[in-house]
């Protein structure tokens, strides 16, 4: 097992106020549906008592939370769809204390996992703003590059999201790794 | 073919009536996106799922039931099967068993009409009228599975093959 960034093992998918499990090998997830998942989760969670009570107390802005939860969920789910090697993709979301926790689980090949660990280690250990602008410049200089790699950095910079990852091998599948991405979004 | 499995904290689900509509709309959009009959099918599916979720909402809120609800959606040929696996107490189990047995043993349109008359006459609150509506007007198969003493599964089978293309 490898953990990078701030990953809270005490929170699992079973702790989600809502948890969705998809099977893209059997039922393909179209790109326009990524936004639908994010919007659904965001609207569902912000309709619950926890955030409504926080808004009534003046310690949360529901409109802002709808947008920020949807953005983070969208980025994480989109990454999972893009890079899932096989098997189910799972997303769980809950309110805990001063945070909204989003936990995304998917599967990577060992090579993908190695590359991704290197990437997120950089994010966890570097200045996110500096990395963001370096990436933007690199993308601008390289015509073949895209906005890839900016989503996680945007979350950290623009939404003060705390990110963490856990990588686990799968029994009897030596070439596949389960990755859990945890985003902790401050309630504001 | 599994389309989606989902789990909900019942305590959170029953906090807002909007959760029924949000969930049924989302599932309908998810399932319907892959069908060439999309728009009409999405509306149909959303309506059916919403009626079932509303009954679950009311029953669990009225009875103060906690625990978790699992909703799974599968496709097999021209059918979409949705299972609502919910926590129940004895009263809830009796309510759902009685409602679904009534549907499966009688003329669903007559059952629905009588329920509406009872509501209009204020002679019965008829909380199961939503299930009667779904059975009578949407050609849906409804069944159930009793599980451990505090769990119950409502099974909904929808055949979309007869829906006219827009």
Tell me, what's the pLDDT at B166? 44
Q: How confident is the model at residue A148 (pLDDT cuts 50, 70, 90)?
A: low
Q: How confident is the model at residue A173 (pLDDT cuts 50, 70, 90)?
A: confident
Q: Does the distance separating the beta carbons of B7 and A19 come in below 8 Å?
A: yes
Tell me, what's the pLDDT at B37? 62
Q: Does the distance separating the beta carbons of A28 and B23 come in below 8 Å?
A: no
Q: How confident is the model at residue B165 (pLDDT cuts 50, 70, 90)?
A: very low
CB B44 within 8 A of CB B137: no
Dist. CA A107–CA A89, nearest whole Å: 8
Task: Tell me which residue in A16, A21, A28 faces B4 most closely, judged by beta carbons.
Answer: A21
Chain A residues in contact with B83 (beta carbon < 8 A): none
- pLDDT over 90 at B148, yes or no: no
Q: Does the distance separating the beta carbons of A27 and B75 come in below 8 Å?
A: yes
pLDDT in tens, B122-141: 766 788 898 999 888 888 99
Chain B residues in contact with A33 (beta carbon < 8 A): 29-30, 33
pLDDT in tens, B13-72: 999 999 999 999 999 999 887 666 677 788 889 999 999 999 999 999 988 888 999 999
Q: Does the distance separating the beta carbons of B22 and A43 come in below 8 Å?
A: yes
Dist. CA A108–CA A116, nearest whole Å: 9
pLDDT in tens, A22-41: 999 988 888 888 999 999 99
Task: Tell me which residue in A21, A44, A49 faces B22 most closely, judged by beta carbons.
Answer: A44
Chain B residues in contact with A48 (beta carbon < 8 A): 12, 15-16
Q: Give me A171's structure tokens.
A: 């029994």
Q: Does the distance separating the beta carbons of A40 and B5 come in below 8 Å?
A: no
Decide: residue A96, CB within 10 A, 0-12 exposed, 13-18 middle, 19+ buried.
middle
Chain A residues in contact with B22 (beta carbon < 8 A): 40, 43-44, 47
Q: Does the distance separating the beta carbons of B1 and A26 come in below 8 Å?
A: yes
Dist. CA A180–CA A44, nearest whole Å: 22
Between A139 and B36, name the one with better pLDDT: A139
Tell me, what's the pLDDT at B161? 64
Q: Does the distance separating the beta carbons of B8 and A23 come in below 8 Å?
A: no
Q: What is the pTM of this model?
A: 0.92
Backbone angles phi, psi at A55, to 5 degrees: -65, -40
User: How is residue A13 annotated by DSSP?
Assistant: G
Chain A residues in contact with B1 (beta carbon < 8 A): 23, 26-27
Classify B28 in phi/psi space as left (phi over 0), alpha (psi -120 to 50) or beta: alpha
Mean pLDDT of A55-76: 95
Tell me, what's the pLDDT at A149? 66
Structure ipTM: 0.91
- pLDDT over 80 at A119, yes or no: yes
Decide: residue B76, CB within 10 A, 0-12 exposed, 13-18 middle, 19+ buried.
exposed
């Amino acid at each position: 097992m490898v953990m990078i960034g701030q990953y809270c093992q005490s929170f699992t998918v079973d702790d989600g106020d809502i948890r969705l499990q998809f099977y893209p090998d059997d039922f393909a997830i179209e790109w326009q549906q990524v936004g639908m998942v994010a919007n659904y989760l965001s609207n569902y969670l912000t309709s619950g008592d926890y955030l409504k009570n926080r808004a009534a107390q003046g310690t949360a802005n529901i409109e802002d939370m709808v947008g920020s939860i949807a953005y983070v969920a969208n980025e994480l789910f989109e990454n999972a769809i893009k890079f899932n090697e096989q098997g189910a993709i799972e997303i769980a979301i809950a309110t805990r204390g001063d945070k909204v926790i989003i936990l995304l689980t998917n599967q990577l090949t060992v090579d993908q996992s190695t590359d991704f660990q290197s990437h997120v280690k950089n994010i966890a250990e570097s200045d996110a703003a500096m990395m963001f602008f370096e990436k933007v410049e690199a993308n601008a200089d390289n015509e073949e590059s895209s906005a890839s790699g900016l989503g996680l950095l945007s979350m950290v910079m623009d939404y003060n999201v705390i990110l963490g990852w856990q990588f686990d091998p799968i029994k009897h599948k030596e070439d596949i790794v389960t990755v859990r991405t945890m985003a902790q979004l401050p309630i504001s | 073919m599994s389309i989606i499995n989902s789990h909900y904290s019942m305590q959170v689900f029953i906090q807002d009536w909007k959760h029924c509509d949000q969930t049924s709309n989302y599932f309908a959009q998810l399932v319907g996106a892959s069908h060439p009959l999309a728009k009409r099918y999405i509306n149909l599916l959303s309506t059916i799922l919403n009626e079932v979720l509303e009954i679950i909402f009311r029953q669990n809120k009225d009875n103060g039931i906690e625990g978790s609800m699992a909703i799974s959606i599968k496709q097999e040929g021209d059918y979409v099967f949705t299972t609502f696996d919910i926590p129940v107490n004895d009263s809830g189990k009796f309510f759902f068993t009685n409602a679904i047995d009534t549907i499966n043993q009688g003329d669903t349109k007559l059952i629905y009409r009588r329920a509406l008359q009872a509501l209009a006459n204020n002679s019965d609150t008829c909380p199961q009228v939503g299930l009667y509506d779904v059975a009578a007007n949407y050609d849906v198969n409804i069944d159930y599975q009793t599980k451990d003493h505090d769990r119950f599964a409502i099974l909904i089978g929808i055949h979309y093959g007869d829906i006219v293309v827009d």
